[in-house]
Amino acid sequence: MGGDREGARRTAARVRGVVDERAGFGRHGWFLAVLAIGAALRVVTMLGYRPALWFPDSYTYVVTVLRPRPDLVRPAGYSMFMKLLEPLHSFGAVTAAQHLLGLATGVLVYWAAARHTRRWIATLAAVPVLVEPYQIELEHLLVSDTLFMFLVVAAVALALAGRPKAVTIGLLLAAASLTRTVGQPLIVVLVAWFLLRRQIRPAWIMLVAAVVPILAYGGWFYATYQRVGVIGANGVFLYARTMSFADCAEMDPPPDLRVLCDPRPADQRPPSQEYIWARDAPIVALPGITFTKETDDLAMRFALLAIRTQPLDYAGSVLAELGRSFVWGRPVYPDQEIYGYYQFPETPPGPPGRYPAQVGTEFAKRYEQGPIGTSIVEPYAGWMRAYQDVARIPGTVLLVVLLVPPAAVAWRAFRYGRGPGSPRALWLLPWSVAVVLLITPAAVAEFDYRYVLPAVPLACLAAALACGNGREFTDLIPRNVQL
């Protein structure tokens, strides 16, 4: 009898386990379906474009992997990520890891949203990062943006948890800042978030955890170049940014800065990046490499003078660059070459043209321990090209998503007398981070399509949190079109 009872208990436990598993799938079924679609799209991409897609920056990252030292233009965080995968000697492993990070980002968005809103809203918030073709194409490029996006979203998701892990959040932000320098302002945003919630101790702990690794990297950078910072190109990039409006007749620069002037009218000048890389750019024509300390300091002085003497022109230029993020179409910008890197190609891309990339090619062969390139395999590649032709998130939709949280707050204040101080102000953190990620490149560099994508999951998370339990969301929709 005792054995029968024990067997019955085991059977009952197995039945309960199956019921709980099916109930879990039922609760999260829509999200799991979207996650499966996202995984399938990534598998098709890996089958169609083997082993990876290359970007001009990719070769520089590989050089840093095999010759560890700080780069003057880009911090080494992404190279460290590639270094972890070097024993596999496969760029396909790098893209596979990036695709997993993309899926993990979708899971984080859903997890953070589902704790505070209905699951169908949380699922909608995760859809763009999971199935958007440009997002998937970016994950297949050997660039830092996917890693950066995951680190930032992970930090924000943990900050929204009931008991935030301040040390972990700080380390994630440090890693993000050492992957892309645009992550540095996010440390201030997260500190302000904790202080706004009167979490003084976590704010200081997070700040220390974020700053210490950055200072350590800065020490390595100083030991290498005898320069303070984590990169040596801030002045050059800001100079290039100001060349969209800088008027030397109005600025009246001193003689040493006048060599950086461009006599052409502002509306006849090339995109900002050309002032960094084009052979005929004034700063490139100066003696020595572009990113020497003397050249970078000269460029910074010019840029600051332009901003001081033409503040309205600078503000208008930043708004114009920011506005490119919200257009309905997808116009070619900054040029056809860069624009083409964000499309699934029909033919294998040619060899790199820039000299630093040509040097990086030899390092890439050492990393792969064999020839490099991209093999396009049909019909899988054709499926992804067709998918990219019909599916995307227009910039105007991103703008609408960003407007949902303030609109929801205004509606609650009007109808219920509740303002942003309510518990649903959780939306403020991902919303602020998304806005900073969009504004910073427009202010200090220039618009680029790949700079927009990391802000999308955060904007969607903010909109989901602002919608609350879903009832207030449907209240915003006219009665004759409610779901």
Q: What sign has the CA pseudo-torsion 452, 456, 458, 460?
A: positive
Kindly tell me if the per-residue pLDDT of 384 is higher than 90.
Answer: yes
Location of structure tokens 């000299």 = 355
Please choose, from the candidates 274, 291, 365, 324, the residue with its C-alpha nearest in 3D space to the C-alpha of residue 54: 365
Kindly tell me if the per-residue pLDDT of 392 is higher than 80.
Answer: yes
Mark residue 278 as left, alpha or beta (left: phi above 0; alpha: psi -120 to 50; beta: remaining).
beta
> What is the CA angle 129-135-141, rounded to 5?
140
Mean pLDDT throughout 211-229?
A: 97
Distance between the two ends of the chain, CA-based, in angstroms?
Answer: 56
d(CA 429, CA 420) in angstroms, rounded, equals 12
Kindly tell me if the per-residue pLDDT of 359 is higher than 80.
Answer: no
CA 84 to chain centre: 21
Kindly tell me if the per-residue pLDDT of 388 is higher than 50.
Answer: yes
The residue ranges of DSSP E strands in 277-390, in sequence order, are: 375-376
This prediction has a pTM of 0.90
Q: Percentage of the chain surpassing pLDDT 90?
A: 78
Rg (CA), the chain: 25
DSSP state of 118: -
- The single-letter code of the amino acid at 139 is E
- The single-letter code of the amino acid at 482 is Q
pLDDT band with cut points at 50, 70 and 90 for residue 23: very low
pLDDT band with cut points at 50, 70 and 90 for residue 15: very low
Higher pLDDT, 4 or 316: 316
pLDDT band with cut points at 50, 70 and 90 for residue 341: very high
**Cβ atoms < 10 Å from Cβ of 336:** 8
d(CA 379, CA 399) in angstroms, rounded, equals 35
List Cβ<8 Å contacts ≥24 apart for 302-305: 302/239, 302/242, 302/246, 302/253, 302/257, 302/260, 303/235, 303/238, 303/239, 303/241, 303/242, 304/238, 305/251, 305/253, 305/257
Kindly tell me if the per-residue pLDDT of 399 is higher than 50.
Answer: yes
pLDDT band with cut points at 50, 70 and 90 for residue 417: low
Strands 49-50 and 375-376 turn out to be antiparallel
The residue ranges of DSSP E strands in 57-159, in sequence order, are: none
d(CA 273, CA 306) in angstroms, rounded, equals 17
Mean pLDDT is lowest, of 39-48, 78-87, 121-130, 421-430, for 421-430
**Cβ atoms < 10 Å from Cβ of 190:** 27
CA 435 to chain centre: 12
d(CA 153, CA 109) in angstroms, rounded, equals 8
